[in-house]
Amino acid sequence: MVKGEKFMSKILGVRFREVGKIHYFNYPDEDIKRGDIVIAETIRGEELGKVMISKDALGLSEESEPVEKILRKATDVDLESVRLKEFEEKEAERVFKKKIDEHKLKMKLVDVEYIFDRRKLIFYFTSDTRIDFRNLVRDLAGIFKVRIELRQVGMRDEAKILGGMGICGQSLCCAKFLNNFHTVTVKMAKDQGVSLNPTKLSGACGRLKCCLQYEEEAYLEMLEDMPKLDETVCTPEGIGTVIGYNPIQSTVKVKLKKYEDDINFKIFKVSEIKQFILSTEES
């Protein structure tokens, strides 16, 4: 094919873990659709995954096409191999825990993954310090006779892999539907008027809750139409200072000073304050 020539092919989005990133692959045949289990060629080797997205890629250049491709639909033999792989992963987990005790390594095993073609065995772990696990890798390679990879993950990844329940009573978002982690900041909690108590802001992983990021954009839009904290405003009951707000209810809490020795706190609708200012300017 001439470089830059236009062509038509099919692009399929495949997910290899229950709640993982979606990777895109070439596949020219039309007999594979969303929901099918397939074997794909990846940089790690052959892997089994589920087709999540099916779309025609029209007018793409050769350079923009995914390099990897789907090899075939999974067969009954492939699915039986996966069940055997899960049994082998349990055995690998037992051996790994035994070996880290022997080597006196401060590591916590989170997950074990055999690549579908059995050419690589991956151990996911957490640790508070850097670990020299070279001797451990040599021992494991000698036992399992495959390529061994040890991958240290963070607290958010650990929660995603292990799963669990949040204080909301629902399954953890990261384990249920989040494909990627987004940056979450304390400023988001401030914007939403959430208590800055660390125990209430932290999720099961010990980091700021991912759900703080979901509605941040909506809160910022609502805050644009609201007076700022410490701003002096005119209300139907006189001049006051904004000391709080509720973006959801579109209300502000105002400290009024009708008289020098009489200080009152009252909640007003933002629309009330705007209407009063408008009528004052007209008069």
Q: Hey, what CATH topology would domain 79-153 get?
A: GMP Synthetase; Chain A, domain 3 (3.30.300)
pLDDT of residue 150: 95
pLDDT of residue 280: 53
For the chain, give every domain's residue range: 7-74, 79-153, 157-219, 232-282
Q: Which residues, other chains included, contact 54 with Cβ-Cβ below 8 Å and sequence gap of 6+?
A: 10, 12, 13, 32, 33, 34
| Three-class DSSP category at 60 | strand
pLDDT per residue as tens, the chain (283 positions): 444 444 445 788 888 887 778 888 888 666 888 889 999 988 888 899 998 887 654 444 444 556 678 888 999 999 999 889 989 999 999 999 999 999 999 999 999 999 888 889 999 999 988 889 999 999 999 999 999 999 999 888 888 888 888 888 888 988 888 878 888 999 998 888 888 888 889 988 889 999 999 889 888 888 888 888 888 888 888 888 888 888 888 899 988 877 656 667 889 998 888 656 655 555 4
- CA dist., res. 34 & res. 54, Å (int): 6
pLDDT of residue 161: 85
| Three-class DSSP category at 273 | helix
**69 φ/ψ angles, rounded to the nearest 5 degrees:** -140, 160
Q: Are the beta carbons of 136 and 149 closer than 8 angstroms?
A: no
pLDDT of residue 77: 92
Q: Are the beta carbons of 165 and 172 closer than 8 angstroms?
A: yes
Record the tokens describing residue 26, joined without a space.
């070439």
Neighbouring C-beta atoms of residue 132, cutoff 10 Å: 8
- CA dist., res. 147 & res. 261, Å (int): 79
Q: Are the beta carbons of 226 and 247 closer than 8 angstroms?
A: yes
Q: Which residues, other chains included, contact 24 with Cβ-Cβ below 8 Å and sequence gap of 6+?
A: 11, 12, 13, 14, 53, 66
